[in-house]
Chains A and B, each alone.
Chain A
Amino acid sequence: MNFSKRMLLGLVGASVLASAPLTALAEDWQPRKPIDFVIMAGAGGGADQIARFIQSVAEQKDLTTRPLVPNNKGGGSGAEALIHVSTANDPDHTILVTLNSFFTTPLRQENLGIDIQTFTPVAMMGVDPFVLWVHKDSGITTLDEYVAKVQEMGGEYVMGGTGAGQEDSIVIAFMSEAYGLDINYIPYDGGGAVAKDLAGQQIMATVNNPAEAKGFYEAGDFVPLLAFSDERMPAYPDVPTLKEMGHDFSYYNQRAVVGAPGMSDEAAAYYQDLFTTIYESEEWQGYLASESLSPLWMDAAEQRDYWALQVDNHKSLLAALGE
């Protein structure tokens, strides 16, 4: 009983302390509960790494009065996360780290009834480009050699990627279309598994994000052949882009933070401020550079336009995939 009495005293003391800052900041919205920081992917993937990095920066700089609590909901290619966030009973304390399945999953699974325009734009932290990688033992060093090799193998050329009807298969499908390639595509459950099987030469090529393949690239195991970015990437200056090759196509995975549908304007403003601070931090800028992410800063209105544009793009890309 002694214990609970002390607790009670603690409660009273704390509530006195608590009321002071709350009244002082009455007009500025502050989170009152831990923030449900939903991640649209399982633990360990690229999106998860980014979310945990963001959380660490917020923690280290003490940016929030309540912690960001990472919550991995990667099931159903992000459907789980979208449902969780759109039905959140406290939209002011629920935010989501997205990738492109934010666009593709509602398109592919219309019965979910998710309209992404109801979500609240918070921040575009950057976009992750795609690069075509082969193993060094394949002897391929240029795109021409690669195209020749794939055509020679006639449907036996094996590539791996994350999921089906998602980012990797979209990129591969476009490339196959552009160069008339017949590729045997194997879906995996994550970028790490794809990179591992390329390293073990179980598969012949991948379109991993640079962050996923960087370690093997630096060890000399992986050879980059082609970038799917708008311009050549600073970390890979010798790698040509698909655009240079005369195909008007670039593809990025978005690393954006969005708020739950129905979030109040005050809360949205709070999170927009918070993530602007994180975006501008030295740590995040360093992360963008070291992991070869491209900056693509947008304000809230621009983000909504970007979403609409991406939904249209993905509609035609998925249609081309036959989905």
Chain B
Amino acid sequence: MTEVLSLLGDGMLLSLQPLNLMMIMIGVTVGLFIGAMPGLGSVNGVAILLPVTFLVPPGSAIIFLAAIYYGAMYGGAVSSVTLGIPGASTAVATTFDGRPLALKGRASLALVTAALASFIGGTVANILFTLFAPLLASVALSFGPPEVFALMLLAFATFVGLGGDDIPKTIFSICFGLTLGAVGFDQISGAPRLVLFEYNGFLQGIGFLVLAIGVYGIGEMLWTIDQTRGDITSTTPKMTVKGMATDAKEATKRGWKGTAIGSFLGFFVGILPAAGATPGSLMSYGVAKMVSRNPEEFGKGSVDGVAAPEAANNSASTGSMLPMLTLGIPGSPTTAILLGGMVIWGLVPGPRLFVDEQEFVWGLIGSFYISNAAALLINLAFIPVFIWMLRMPFTILAPMIFVLSIVGGYAATRDMFDIWLIVGFGIGAFFLRKFDYPLAPAVLAIVLGPIAEPTLRQSLLLSSGDPAIFFTRPVAGPITIIAIILILLPGLKLIRRKMGAHSKKPAQ
């Protein structure tokens, strides 16, 4: 352990050398803007940077990568709050409360909360990582397809309560998202599936970003324009240092619980290679709502509702480094590219890496600690800039959001067909929004569906078609049972309420 700490210290000291510190600053800033751009995320940042890592010493290269990674994670919240478009699937839950706060003129509170929660989430994850990495690696391995499916069930259970009051419309939205996620290709049988209208463009499936940008970037904007008759009088106040300090105080007071839940829950979900940061942030949001003393605030601008998913997605993204470093298994597209980088640097990813290349591993983790702190400071410093963007006249901000949606959408998939889909989803979402169809469940379902369906069917293949596999395995069993109880709970409540309402009716 002392050896680990000294290696970790070396990693941190290395990060603090003037040149490397400068690289961290640049990396975080670049990452922040990449993450804030809808459609781009840490994958893009890390991918463009990888070839450059030949030119600098490997130590500095890793530090630069870590800085971009953290910057992009912080940036995700920025577009969720200021533009209302989740820049990455991990930031969807942040829009639920971040956007309402921004519309109330409390964008700075939302951004400060996101920054602080992210920092704490990242730090907690780093500490857990440092202390328990090898142990957690075996936990990650014990999650086979049935366990991952059980976890997805749990994630669904937490967002049953997220929809609107209209139950059939909420269920419709969930199923619609899940069905869209099945478009393209059936992994298990290897056959094309739901190639709508026999159009080959659907073979590639419908990505999360296509739906999310369509719904939030186009649909929600059209709705806002229609609703406000085009003139939004911005109430966003100017940023001052004093105002930020007040926000920070308020964020701490009202968001500590969500932060704590997100930091731990996010990390444990994040270390599972098949799950990742999106279910982590979603479940944290759901749990924070469940344990909150005022759950009715959620969705209308709860500080806990921003803190929980933000702490969780940062914590989970750090957690997703664990299977990569301890097992050589990518937990996310970003870590997949990092793994490729390690091969280029001449390292062998795999279980030996953690033992043989301690200097690399702990150097990387050490730079995580420093990058995370730097990302917090730089993010806070940029908040006034983002707030200033919100103060732009709506007739400038709106076309900018449309342009960023289209450009970002193209950057994510590089396919014109997807751009047309974005426009189609946007206009469809506008009308559905008018008739009170909640769309967030669909956006989340399109992320979870492609994880849930293959794991469900893999599990049933494992058990030769016997669904008991979800109940008899030691890890999957309890998770499945909790999930089923949680799913049934609101239904039972509803029936009770309905019964109550019916018995009241004659009295009226």
Contacts and interface: CB of A to CB of B under 8 A. Distances in A.
A binds B: yes
A44 B185 CA distance: 19
Given A56-B344, A158-B462, A200 B51 contact: no
A196 B148 CA distance: 13
Contact of A192 (B54, B192, B200, B336): B336
Interface stretch (B62-70, B87-95, B256-264, B348-356): B348-356
Interface in B263-303: 273-274
B235 interface: no
A195 B340 CA distance: 16
Interface stretch (A69-77, A237-245, A296-304): A69-77
A44 B340 contact: yes
B130 interface: no
Nearest to A72: B333
Contacts of B273: 192-193, 196
Interface in B475-502: none
Contacts of B341: 52
Given A75-B205, A163-B190, A59 B54 contact: yes
Contacts of A197: 144-145
A84 B413 CA distance: 12
A75 B205 CA distance: 7
Interface residues of A, number: 56
A186 B458 contact: yes
Given A75-B203, A186-B462, A60 B54 contact: yes
B188 A187 contact: yes
Given A75-B203, A192-B330, A193-B274, A219 B414 contact: no
B51 A60 contact: yes
Interface residues on B, range: 35 or more
Interface in A41-60: 42-45, 48-49, 52-53, 55-56, 59-60
Contacts of A200: 140-144
A108 interface: yes
A231 to B, nearest CB: 24
B333 A49 contact: no
B313 to A, nearest CB: 19
A73 B203 CA distance: 11
B461 A186 contact: yes
B250 to A, nearest CB: 39
A216 B351 contact: yes
B343 interface: yes
Nearest to A169: B190
Contacts of B191: 164
Which residue, B188, B205, B349, B351, has most C-beta atoms of chain A within 10 A? B351
Interface of A: 42-45, 48-49, 52-53, 55-56, 59-60, 70-71, 73, 75-77, 79-80, 83-84, 108-109, 111-112, 156, 158, 163-166, 169, 184-189, 192-193, 195-197, 199-200, 202-203, 214-216, 218-219, 221, 287, 291
Closest 3 pairs (CB-CB, A-B): A215-B350, A44-B336, A164-B190
7 contacts: A43-B43, A44-B336, A60-B54, A111-B198, A193-B273, A202-B144, A215-B348
Interface of B: 43, 47, 50-51, 54-55, 140-145, 184-185, 187-192, 198, 200, 203-205, 273-274, 323, 327-330, 333, 335-337, 339-341, 343-344, 348-353, 414-415, 454, 458, 461-462, 464
